Amino acid sequence: MSALNPIGAHKVATASVLRTTRLLALLCALFSGESAWAAVEPNPHSWQRWEHALTSARNYGNPYADVTLRVTYSGPAGRTLRACGFWDGGDTFRIRCAFPTPGTWRWETECSDAANPGLHQQRGTVDVTPYRGDGSLYRRGFLKVSDNRRYLAHGDGTPFLWVGDTAWAVPQKASDEEWEAYIADRTAKHFTLIQVAPAPGWAGPSDRRGERPFNDKTCSRWNPAYWQSFEQKVQRANEAGLVVLLVGLMEPVHRYPEADEACLFARNIVARLFGNFVIFSPSFDSQFMPLANTVGRAAREATAVHLITQHPGTPWNQPIPTFSTNYYDQPYLDFVGVQSGHNAGHLDWCAHHAIEWNLHLYRHEPHKPVINLEAMYDGQGTNGWRAVDARALGWRTWLSGAMGYTYGAGDLPPKCPQGSGAVWMWVTDPGKYDYWKKALQWESAFQMQHLHDFLAAVEWWRLEPAHELIRNQTNDVTRRMVLAKTAASDLAVAYLPDNEAIEVDLSVFPALLTARWFDPVSGPATPR
């Protein structure tokens, strides 16, 4: 990794105990990402995707919409899971699951057409064995909200460290080989989650195979061939250890379908991905909309084991994230998503949103985890190509109450008049400066790896915002320092954008202190 200008070398500081007027950083160890390939088996291991094909005994004009197929799974200790099935072309319907515990599971279907013996009251058993492989997701289980409702955790309780990447159009625009290259790069850089859109109209009318997501101009007749390819990409990402956030269930092709079409799609895509490590968001860059709540409730009815959030737009120049707060109290919403916003020439507002909006949501009651789902892309806005800005928003997010941050590499006007978008729009022209292969290697992506590795070495889930302890805070929000500490005051972390020193009120800390600097550009920590 090439060296950056010293002005961009922000300082990060942590302390397990501090007794000096300068807060420094705790040494952290690097984290090694894990990946494994797991095939669907007739009798799977726990948390591996299982499926069963059913053959319809009757013909329908539009099986996607004409038939509702539901399935109930009954497992050990009285555990019950309910899901939907989906039409997969011809006379084939499928049911899928990822069983959370070993043992014998029984399943039974219910079809809206009770006269169809191929779909109605079909039954079977699945003998599930413990998973003993190396796949990080399969070892730990589907994501859930922590017991204290502050962060996300795996099924076994292990905190989930959310360092995401924006890949909106990649499943649609990337070839299988390019998708593999993308996954390999992001796992090597220790990303843990990727955010994609189902089939955004601005990405093009079809995928690289020429398949369209729907066979009509509405969203009432889906094309199984398109969604088979889409789901395969999701499965490959899961096998490599990446969770996939699916954004835009209420706008799978264009803005916006009718409510019944959006709910139909939500139910079917949830059924298709019921056995995968995915999160669902009805909204995508929109204002607060009743339609998003309608689709959110439909998704929740289709799954009780996957997380659901909302990815709202950015209400610029607002003291609080109004779109996020409008969704906050919805029963289907597991965690609150915020878009702190893009540069657009306003670095001050980007910094303000990343700090104050996350603080506002963190303090909201009843508590729900806060995740910054989209901030400023590297290369965007009037200052273009500033890794320092994308990096700063990540650290400000994490130390201001959010328990996750999603990075992005992509240009928009005025830096790129065509708005080609680098990674998130998957620029395929090698002659362009933001060609996807080049964009994967931008300095800011390596700095997200350092962010992950630093947090992975400390108990980040215990941190609480404590900016009020900073005594020499600047009035310039673009240079504003942030600090978080544990309730026990045995660990503290501070981020210094380009400040030479930080003065901290040490009255809440123990008398004996240790401290280290951590360089968020290069990664190593040094004692002081």
> Token pair for residue 288?
């607060």
Which of 388, 313, 312 is CA-nearest to residue 351?
388
Which of 79, 95, 94, 49 is CA-nearest to residue 278?
49
Distance CA 337, CA 109 (A): 34
Q: Count of alpha carbons within 13 Å of 392, Cβ hemisphere only? A: 28
Place of tokens 């420094």: 24
Total length of the chain: 528
Residue pair 101/76 in contact (Cβ under 8 Å)? The answer is yes
Distances (CA, A) of 421 to 245, 304, 427: 19, 35, 7
State pLDDT tens for residues 226-257. 999 999 999 999 999 999 999 999 999 988 99
State pLDDT tens for residues 396-442. 999 999 999 999 988 655 445 455 678 988 988 888 777 899 999 99
Neighbours of 172 (CB within 10 A): 24
Domains and CATH numbers, the chain: 6-29+463-527 (no CATH), 49-128 (2.60.40.10), 161-456 (3.20.20.80)
Residue 142: is its pLDDT beyond 90? yes
Distance CA 55, CA 288 (A): 41
pLDDT at 390: 86
> Got the DSSP string for 160-177?
P-EEEEE-TTHHHHS-HH
Residue pair 166/424 in contact (Cβ under 8 Å)? The answer is yes
Q: Report strand pairing: 404-407 vs 162-166.
A: parallel
pLDDT > 70 fraction of the chain, expressed in percent and rounded: 88
Using pLDDT thresholds of 50, 70 and 90, give the confidence band for residue 528: low
> Got the DSSP string for 237-301?
HHHTT-EEEEE-TT-SSSS---HHHHHHHHHHHHHHTTTS-EEEES-SSB---HHHHHHHHHHHH
Residue pair 13/23 in contact (Cβ under 8 Å)? The answer is yes
State pLDDT tens for residues 44-54. 999 999 999 99
Q: Report strand pairing: 144-145 vs 152-153.
A: antiparallel
> For the chain, what is the mean pLDDT?
88
Please report, as a single letter, which amino acid is at residue 401: G
State pLDDT tens for residues 122-139. 999 999 999 999 999 999
Average pLDDT over residues 28-51: 57
Neighbours of 200 (CB within 10 A): 23
Q: Report strand pairing: 162-166 vs 152-153.
A: unpaired
Residue pair 299/308 in contact (Cβ under 8 Å)? The answer is yes
Q: From edge to edge, which strands make up the β-sheet containing 69-74?
A: 80-84, 69-74, 103-111, 123-128
Count Cβ atoms within 10 A of the Cβ of residue 330 and give its class: 0-12 exposed, 13-18 middle, 19 or more buried.
middle
Say which residues have a Cβ less than 8 Å from residue 216's Cβ, sequence separation at least 6: none
- Burial pattern 262-289, b for ≥16 Cβ within 10 A else e, equals bbbbbbbbbbbbbbbbbbbbbbbbbebb
Using pLDDT thresholds of 50, 70 and 90, give the confidence band for residue 39: very low
Distances (CA, A) of 132 to 99, 158, 234, 507: 14, 17, 22, 48
Please report, as a single letter, which amino acid is at residue 59: N
Which region among 238-242, 284-288, 522-526 has the lowest average model confidence (pLDDT)? 522-526
Residue pair 135/241 in contact (Cβ under 8 Å)? The answer is yes
Residue 62 three-state SS: coil
> Token pair for residue 166?
């924006």
Residue pair 16/490 in contact (Cβ under 8 Å)? The answer is yes
Distance CA 107, CA 75 (A): 9
* φ, ψ for residue 453, nearest 5 deg: -65, -35
Beta strands in 6-91 (DSSP E): 11-17, 49-55, 69-74, 80-84, 86-87
Count Cβ atoms within 10 A of the Cβ of residue 476 and give its class: 0-12 exposed, 13-18 middle, 19 or more buried.
exposed
DSSP H helical ranges for 311-427? 322-328, 347-352, 358-363, 387-398
Neighbours of 448 (CB within 10 A): 27
Residue 376: is its pLDDT beyond 90? no
pLDDT at 431: 82
pLDDT at 419: 54
Distance CA 446, CA 419 (A): 24
Distance CA 38, CA 83 (A): 22
Say which residues have a Cβ less than 8 Å from residue 388's Cβ, sequence separation at least 6: 4, 7, 8, 10, 497
State pLDDT tens for residues 475-520. 999 899 999 999 999 999 999 988 789 999 999 998 888 888 999 9
